[in-house]
Structure 1
Amino acid sequence: MENQREQRCSRLVFVLYPFQGHINPMLQLATIMYSKGFSITIVHPQFNSPDPSKHPQFTFTPISDDLSQGKVSTSDLFGTISALNRNCEEPLKEYIEKMLKAEDTHDRIACIIYDGLMFFAQSVADRLKLPGMSVRTSAAASILAYAVFRRHDEQGYISFLDLMSKDQETELQPLRLKDLVMLRSQNVPELIGELRANLTDSVKKSSAIIVNTMDFLEQNVVKQIQGLFPAFVFTIGPFHKLAPNISSSLLKEDTNCISWLDRQAPNSVIYVSFGSIASMDEKEFLETYWGLANSDQPFLWVVRPGLVRGSKSVELLPKSFEERVGDKGCIVEWAPQLEVLAHGAVGGFWSHCGWNSTLESICEGVPMLCRPFFGDQCLNAIYVCDVWKVGLELENELEKGNIEKAVRTLMVNTEGNEMRKRAMHLKEKVNLSLRQGGSCYNSLNELAEQMLSLRSN
């Protein structure tokens, strides 16, 4: 009890990046650290604010971001990141200064823990002489992929990858990181170059790097990162397994799909969801529908508002939809994904390959059909298909014939069954890492100890 009281004397300030795929893991991490005895303050932009009533144990504080729903476009994510880092720095600094003036020895700020995309928080931590910890809500490998910065001379873009030995390059070859870096480095706008430089610089200055991953998934990558950055890397994923029942969805989940799943045969359903941001045009949407319908496999498809650019998606479905598909298809605006992936009827997941979705699929032993849209999703798809070999990628234009073939390969062919076995093996390794003495269990305890020591004097 005495140790618990000591831990309650330390407060952690979390700084959120205001999009669904980032809010969830950050609040999960906050819940994990709360269970370790820390008090939690959540600082978030006013845009896309989380619901405080779902987390009554935390203190929520909105800060000015000078953004509005009308100003934010999902097609200009780099511009949004830049605006948030520019607009939120002074409001965060002013708020932390007030906290420091009011704090006493029983509730001191241990450190600022920030989403890596909110790198301005490290600048605030440095200015106020507080420790800052960078959280990577994507794969650890994305740290290497984004470690590309602008040099103001004729050499242009260079990468930390250039510093690696040939042996190190060989270890990381399956990820094709050099190809990704070359792709990202061609004709890159100055804004993106600056953002990457700032992101990497904040990681270099952080007191620790927290990654939502597991050692066995990215062992070689974590070693390379540890050699390139001074801060220790804590791999304490999957966050959602350590903080179950944490719901921070910005969209209302339709739980009726669970009763539909209950009526389906084991491993027969392909679950289709492209996350909270990705979008497609009308032609891609209809090709997706016909590919699913023609595969003759039961499917649960998330068709959220905004999925089809400039249209109300469901209205595009042909009038013969119900007659053609019948009870073999279920469409919802948003699904309780963790519950869906854990359901025995789900045998495959067609995903945009966001990191949260990728981890959630691995944790339930569900193989994947990959259709990355942007950002680190391409890297995650390489992991799924080429490194772990628990999925296949839908490349090129979406076309109903290719979709039908890919769905059947994943769901009923021998190749898909082999992927399912490998996915189940990964699930077992996840469970081992979470147990006492496992890599995640140990890393989490080490992280809590470091946090307690940061401002102990």
Structure 2
Amino acid sequence: MENERDAETPKRNGRRRLVLFPLPFQGHINPMLQLANILHSNGFSITIIHTTFNFPNPSNHPHFTFVPISDGLSETEASNPDLIALLSVLNLKCVKPFEDCLAKLLADVSEEPITCLISDAILPFTRAVAERLKLPRIVLRTGGVSSFVVFAAYPILLEKGHIPIRDSRLEELVPELPPLRIKDLPVIKTSNPEALYEVVNSMVKETKASSGLIWNSFEELEQPALNALRQDFPIPIFPIGPFHKHFPTSSSSLIKEDQSSISWLNMQEPNSVIYVSFGSIAAIDKTEFLEIAWGLANSKRPFLWVVRPGLIRGSYWLEPLPNGFLENLEGRGHIVQWAPQQEVLCHPAVGAFWTHNGWNSTMESVCEGVPMICMPCFTDQLVNARYVSNVWRVGVQLENGLERGKIEKAIGRLMEDKEMRGRALQWKEKANLSLRQGGSSYQSLQCLISYISTF
């Protein structure tokens, strides 16, 4: 039996072992597992520590070892819509289970020695744990570099009175952070604003004290932000993205993907479809949902719309739609609960992406040359949307409320703007070049592999 086990896992012999610890949300688990695949393909053995809350499916990643820990969350805490409160509780309750688990892994002489820990930046308690166990800790920040620079500037923003945000100043420019306006600053509604500042400050402080920082971005896309960060952060910085383009990886979706999205797209004309998805956390009210529905219908263009259960406050799924709405579209609209987004965005039928501008979605759209309609909801999405529309100029932002006429107009403008589509295709080419031999992300990955090997 022992020989059989050795035959099944020959690649693990002699490999350096890394422990990765993702924040348990879809937008953070995805890039962490993509990074794990990248590092595994470069000779590292991978162990994933994960919470019991929102855990990934180990069967999708048979080449990794998955180790669960108790997060201690009550049902009320786990379902709290106040994201900052949930993050604060996670960072308190995971400390001991995580430390006990990591100590046990370090003591296991039957496995390869652990080289380092890679943890999500929004799990700042992991620094103290890693230091106590004398283990190097590298941080993965799953958002963009440009938004992180804003988070790092929180003390200045507070000092200057830019935050908390006041409605009377929304359109004012932030002189310290061009091209952002006050309303683009990455905040989130919470019952305790002080807790938000604490989460942000801990993330920045403990990231700066780490042994290195990995980004799902590439040099050409965010060079000014990377330059600013390198001046302020005295640690090695590795922009090795786009992660998902290194090679095809198995799904890490926490929600079942509806493959009918692809068969429906196969029947549509090239560049004709608007793909609509607002991610795994954002929520809208019924009025907004109906304005989106009528804006899409009135655009007279085919659309693929992801309506996640729980997206509409107070409804399970499509109950607010008027009777006969879908039938009257005569097949022009296809609504699913979740879609295989990377497959959708690279499908030739997709001509535009209406997005909440989470970083993963923004990067995936940039990498496929798909222009965006931007509808950010909170935190870094607000910064991402401003960069998409005003810096990279590959999208239009819906602002000052949702109204079906404005939606119809934005769709028309985006689908017909050839210059914007041309710029989007140029960014796609730059993303591809960054990953090729000699490209910026290729070289940065080689530096990361060499750096980890020095521990």
2:432 corresponds to which residue? Answer: 431
1:147 corresponds to which residue? Answer: 152
Shift of 1:74: 5.8
Distance 1:385 1:257 in 2: 27
1:30 corresponds to which residue? Answer: 36
2:179 corresponds to which residue? Answer: 174
Shift of 1:128: 1.3
CA offsets 1:134-165 (integer angstroms, 9 cap, x no match): 101100122211114669xx969899xxxxxx
Distance 2:155 2:13 in 1: 42
Shift of 1:263: 1.2
Distance 1:296 1:181 in 2: 34
Query: Does 2:344 align with 1:340?
Result: yes
Describe the SS at the equivalent of 1:41. Answer: strand
1:250-269 aligned within 5 A: 250-269=254-273
Distance 2:389 2:354 in 1: 13
1:209 corresponds to which residue? Answer: 213
Distance 2:44 2:431 in 1: 26
Give the TM-score normalised by structure 1. Answer: 0.90
Query: Does 2:62 align with 1:56?
Result: yes
Distance 2:261 2:277 in 1: 13
Could you tell me the percent identity over the aligned residues? Answer: 51
Q: Give the direction of change, closer, same or farther, for the CA distance of 1:382–1:395 in structure 2 (3 Å limit).
A: same
Describe the SS at the equivalent of 1:315. Answer: coil
Query: Does 2:289 align with 1:288?
Result: no
Q: Any gaps of 5 or more consecutive residues in structure 2?
A: 1-9, 164-173
2:118 corresponds to which residue? Answer: 113
Describe the SS at the equivalent of 2:206. Answer: helix
Contact 1:149–1:194 (8 Å) recurs in 2: no
1:2-81 aligned within 5 A: 8-73=14-79, 75-81=81-87
Shift of 1:73: 3.7
1:118-137 aligned within 5 A: 118-137=123-142
Shift of 1:320: 2.1
Distance 1:171 1:80 in 2: 31
Query: Does 2:314 align with 1:310?
Result: yes
Q: Residue type of the partner of 1:257? A: S
RMSD: 2.6
Contact 2:186–2:383 (8 Å) recurs in 1: no
Contact 1:132–1:207 (8 Å) recurs in 2: yes
Q: Residue type of the partner of 2:66? A: F
| Residue among 82, 85, 88 paired with 1:82 | 88
Distance 1:76 1:172 in 2: 27
CA offsets 1:291-335 (integer angstroms, 9 cap, x no match): 000011110000110010111231221112134211111111111
Q: Residue type of the partner of 1:127? A: R
Q: Give the direction of change, closer, same or farther, for the CA distance of 1:217–1:360 in structure 2 (3 Å limit).
A: same
| Residue among 384, 394, 399 paired with 1:395 | 399
Contact 2:27–2:360 (8 Å) recurs in 1: yes
Shift of 1:29: 0.2
Q: Residue type of the partner of 1:71? A: E
Q: Residue type of the partner of 2:46? A: I
Shift of 1:132: 0.5
| Structure 1 runs, 4 residues or longer, greater than 6 Å off | 4-7, 156-159, 182-188
Q: Residue type of the partner of 2:313? A: R
Number of corresponding residues: 435
Shift of 1:171: 10
CA offsets 1:386-415 (integer angstroms, 9 cap, x no match): 00000000001111111111111111x3xx
Contact 2:85–2:190 (8 Å) recurs in 1: no
Distance 2:159 2:139 in 1: 29
Shift of 1:96: 1.5
Shift of 1:243: 3.9
Q: Give the direction of change, closer, same or farther, for the CA distance of 1:243–1:118 in structure 2 (3 Å limit).
A: farther
Contact 1:148–1:158 (8 Å) recurs in 2: no
Distance 1:400 1:60 in 2: 46
2:232 corresponds to which residue? Answer: 228
